[in-house]
């Protein structure tokens, strides 16, 4: 992948481990913590898509709260844990290789940015809690356009600011629907397939696939 001017990352599930909030409570939740975490994430995403389709926008924090409430009922988790889980969601952990890779890319003078469903406040909290404040040039939120990925209007946000060609963007996401969204828009997507899953049939097949972000260093020259 050549002539890249900006490397843009999805946040949730790509840089930050969305299961880490529930995992930190696994002693209280018990063996069902992972199933609960996956259900919460799936419900959260479904709510973003449904709200976009209905044109009934709520920001990502409100969606996260709503999806947590349903998930706690579904898994019979005591409501007293609600605030603890929400507070932990604000400070999700990065995946192990993230910091080292980001700093190496920064040394190569790439423009680095986040493009996420998250609100500006949530994204800035995540970046600060993981000591990444000096890494990213920009943090872009869908709140600028009030609709969720994979709407093309979202992917246009950084292009509008940077005034570069779509093909000059490397776009990284662990979410297949997000990779398809970015690819159909015109980015050069890299699918971060940490769990060896099957790609969705959404009329797009990514040229690049990595198991972790460390492999990105071999793709972008």
User: Looking at the annotation, which residues are catalytic?
Assistant: 10
Which stretches of the chain are assigned E, i.e. beta strand?
A: 6-9, 111-116, 138-141, 169-173, 188-192, 208-210
Query: Around Cβ 184, how many Cβ atoms within 10 Å?
Result: 15
Which residue do the tokens 């570069």 mark?
A: 164
> Quick one: which H or E segment has residue 29?
helix 26-29
CA distance linking residue 68 with residue 120, whole number of Å: 20
CA distance linking residue 168 with residue 1, whole number of Å: 9
């Amino acid at each position: 992948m050549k002539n890249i001017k900006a490397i843009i990352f999805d946040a949730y599930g790509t840089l930050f481990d969305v299961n880490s909030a529930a995992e930190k409570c696994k002693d209280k939740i018990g063996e069902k913590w992972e199933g609960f975490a996956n259900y919460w994430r799936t419900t959260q995403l479904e709510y973003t898509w449904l709200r976009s389709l209905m044109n009934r926008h709520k920001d990502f924090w409100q969606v996260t709260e709503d999806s947590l409430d349903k998930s706690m009922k579904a898994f019979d988790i005591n409501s007293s844990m609600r605030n603890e889980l929400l507070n932990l969601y604000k400070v999700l952990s990065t995946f192990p290789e993230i910091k080292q890779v980001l700093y190496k890319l920064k040394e190569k003078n790439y423009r680095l940015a986040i493009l996420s469903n998250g609100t500006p406040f949530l994204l800035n909290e995540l970046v600060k809690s993981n000591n990444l404040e000096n890494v990213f040039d920009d943090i872009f939120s869908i709140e600028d356009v009030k609709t969720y990925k994979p709407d093309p209007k979202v992917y246009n946000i950084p292009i509008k600011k940077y005034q570069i060609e779509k093909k000059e963007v490397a776009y990284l996401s662990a979410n297949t629907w997000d990779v398809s969204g970015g690819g159909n828009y015109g980015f050069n997507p890299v699918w971060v397939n940490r769990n060896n899953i099957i790609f969705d049939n959404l009329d797009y097949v990514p040229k690049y696939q990595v198991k972790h972000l460390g492999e990105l260093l071999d793709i972008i020259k």
